[in-house]
Amino acid sequence: MSGAPVRVVLADDERMVRTALRVILDAEEGIEVVGEATTGAEAVSVVRELRPDVVLMDVRMPEIDGIRATEQILATLEDPPRVVVVTTFENDAYVYDALHAGAAGFLLKRAAAEELVQAVRLVACGDSLLYPAAVRTLAAEHAARQPARAPAWVARLTDREADVLRLMAAGLTNAEIAGRLSVGPATAKTHVAAVLAKTGARDRTQAVIAAYESGFITPG
Amino acid sequence: MSGAPVRVVLADDERMVRTALRVILDAEEGIEVVGEATTGAEAVSVVRELRPDVVLMDVRMPEIDGIRATEQILATLEDPPRVVVVTTFENDAYVYDALHAGAAGFLLKRAAAEELVQAVRLVACGDSLLYPAAVRTLAAEHAARQPARAPAWVARLTDREADVLRLMAAGLTNAEIAGRLSVGPATAKTHVAAVLAKTGARDRTQAVIAAYESGFITPG
DNA sequence: CGGGTTCTCCCCCGCGCGGCGGAGGCGGAT
DNA sequence: ATCCGCCTCCGCCGCGCGGGGGAGAACCCG
């Protein structure tokens, strides 16, 4: 815990921001700012060279944005540093992207100095962290991932047609669907035809796509 | 900030836990435990009556679990309190459920006393919060939505075959794929056949299903 | 009672699809 | 210089699929 200091690299295109971060972090014991970068591309090469423990990565940067830079760092380096994505606005959609890219944390620039320091220490210990307000964004996205996206046609499906669509989305042929539902092949075809009509699909493949895209069935 | 104290209700079926929480929180200035509940149903009625600012809600409780109780509280009360879901194990799938139910935070019972206090203060201010380890769960779920679950066959696809699979998953016929890629129909068929072979699919529909299930393409 | 909906089943037809084998060119690796 | 992987294309064949009809039985609801 109190061994070697945490080595930090700052990536931000604005000098003032870098300076502010450096001042805050350098004042802390056990934290050492070892490098800076002003573009995403530079961030990747600086990190590759200096091998810091933590990277504070701005989102909006020239050449390569912080999200892509994060992806590249995590994809190309072995034993990569922990990346904390930093941005200005909390309503940024970047929260999701940052986590998706493998970021260990997400901070707003308006965060207090103590929050920043705590963030660096936390991720250096292997923990993850999100700026509280960002959690709301994430939670909201999570919650929103369920409703809304159910097109009208889903409700118009009869029970039987819904069964058939599920089996179609399981990759079954008409004959197999008939067998699974214990009905004649002709009946299965009729239901499939009805599903195609209601989904507006040209063939069973498009129907399955519609089933996925509408959330009627979900991967995993 | 330092006006009226934060009024807290504790909902947990274990007396020891309630006592522990009460001792910790009552020792803090500006925080007042105004009520307790031992079941989910009781939690709902107690909250309805006492109108606290914050509810510490256990997950596992008799009658109604904490998740459903949270849902009911947030759905039926106007100007509802902020609910922090508390549980014992961090590998609980409840993190997701809790956020989905509208919880403002997620804490583990092993959290330090200071974390607990900070959590109450934070959510009382309107911020959200997650126990750091819980963030990992959430972030991992988010991140896991892409990598890992990429079966071996994804990597074995050639660039061209990946293009073709994407178009297949867009619902195009062989002829349309050929047109889109500016190649002959025979070539498109060859690539499709290769995709079917590598995905282990019997027909294009199963290939598209594999594409979704593997995360090769994502809904939305 | 009649009308609507749903589920069931049948016919024929055309065609896209998938399986089969073969072939030539082109670039990188050995 | 040789092999191998990838992309490109060609034929043939069988079959499942989708489109077009029609039809009977059960059910609910007004």
The CATH number assigned to the domain holding A12 equals: 3.40.50.2300
Maximum mean pLDDT: which of A141-145, A216-220, B96-100, B166-170: B166-170
If asked whether residues B155 and B182 sit together in one domain, one would say yes
Closest listed residue to residue B99, CA positions, set B139, B149, B47, B48: B139
Asked if residue A155 and residue A108 are part of one domain, the reply reads no
CB contact under 8 A, B209 and A204: no
Q: Which amino acid is at A152?
A: A
State, as a whole number of angstroms, the distance between the CA of A188 and the C1' of C23: 42
Same domain, A16 and A124: yes
pLDDT in tens, A98-145: 776 777 777 777 666 777 887 888 788 765 555 555 555 555 555 555
Please indicate, yes or no, whether residues A191 and A115 belong to a single structural domain of this protein.
Answer: no
Residue B78 included in any domain: yes
When pLDDT is averaged across residues A12-25 and rounded to a whole number, the result is 81
CATH number, domain with residue B173: 1.10.10.10
Does the residue A135 lie in any domain?
no
pLDDT at B164: 94
Length of chain B: 220
State chain B's mean pLDDT as an integer.
81
Contact B65, B88 (CB under 8 A): no
pLDDT digits (tens, 9 = 90+) for B90-148: 555 666 677 767 777 777 776 667 778 878 887 887 655 555 555 555 555 555 554 55
Which regions of A59-207 does DSSP assign to beta strands (E)?
82-87, 105-108, 129-130
Point out the domain boundary residue: A75, A101, A129.
Answer: A129
Count of structural domains within chain A: 2
If asked whether residues A168 and A124 sit together in one domain, one would say no
Q: Does A21 lie in the same domain as A124?
A: yes
Would A109 be classed as within a structural domain? yes
A112 and A175 in one domain?
no
The Cα–Cα gap between B104 and B68 comes to 14
The CB density around residue A51, as the number of other CB atoms within 10 Å, is 15
Q: What is the pTM of this model?
A: 0.53
- What is the domain extent for residue A202? 148-213
Same domain? A41 vs A91: yes
Q: Is the CB of B203 under 7 A from strand C?
A: yes
Same domain, A18 and A125: yes
Could you tell me which residues of chain B have a Cβ less than 8 Å from any Cβ in chain A? 96, 99-100, 102, 122, 127-130, 132-133, 135-136, 138-139, 142-143, 145-146, 149, 168-171, 173, 201-206, 208-209, 212-213, 215, 218-220
Scanning every strand, the nucleotide with its C1' closest to B202's CA turns out to be C18
